[in-house]
Amino acid sequence: MATTTRPATDADLPAILDIYNEQVLNSTATFDLEPSSPAAQREWVKQFSHPYVLLVAERRGEVLAWGCLTTGGAKPGYRYTTEDSVYVRADQRRSGLGRQILVALIEAATANGFHTIIARIADDNPASVRLHESLGFVHVGREREVGYKFERWLDVAVMQAALPLPA
């Protein structure tokens, strides 16, 4: 059965939270140190109004991955820049779902008038770097020792994809 990518609904929030919290506890995909709560997630989800999106990949009604576009900066001059995030359930990694979500995010960013997408990836996540490279992201910098998790300092690779300007 095919996996569908679609906008997230309120019914998807528990699965999104479960996927995220597993990453909080077991990876450097996020620099959050403590799992999020349903109440915090209800606040977090409020940021996803046009042009920002929250998407899920689901199969047979089960959310297997999710991704989002968030603000690229707080100042008005950043309005054409967005940052992507992609999370895949642990038992579904290396299945192509990360690519499926990222392709959908790139399409949404283009349709919503963004000029560029930024990805910030912990240096110990080469699979995410390769995924972004395969879809046209290029390395534009490295932030040295900006994250601290699991008793070690982490660098962050900064990658960027330029999008076509809207007609």
In this prediction, residue 1 has a pLDDT band, given cuts at 50, 70 and 90, of: confident
Strand 81-88 vs strand 54-59: parallel, antiparallel, or unpaired? unpaired
**What is the residue extent of each domain of the chain?**
4-162
pTM strictly above 0.85: yes
- Please say if the pLDDT value at position 34 is more than 60: yes
Q: What confidence tens digit (pLDDT) does each residue in 93-126 have?
A: 999 999 999 999 999 999 999 999 999 999 889 9
- Please say if the pLDDT value at position 20 is more than 80: yes
- Tell me the pLDDT of the chain averaged across its residues: 95
Architecture in CATH of 4-162: 3-Layer(aba) Sandwich (3.40)
Q: What DSSP designation does 92 have?
A: G
How far apart are alpha carbons 93 and 118 in whole angstroms?
Answer: 22
For the CA atoms of 7, 44, 131, 106, the dihedral, rounded to the nearest 10 degrees, stands at 50
pLDDT value at residue 164: 79
- Please say if the pLDDT value at position 165 is more than 80: no
| Closest-CA residue to 58 (of 13, 2, 4, 1) | 4
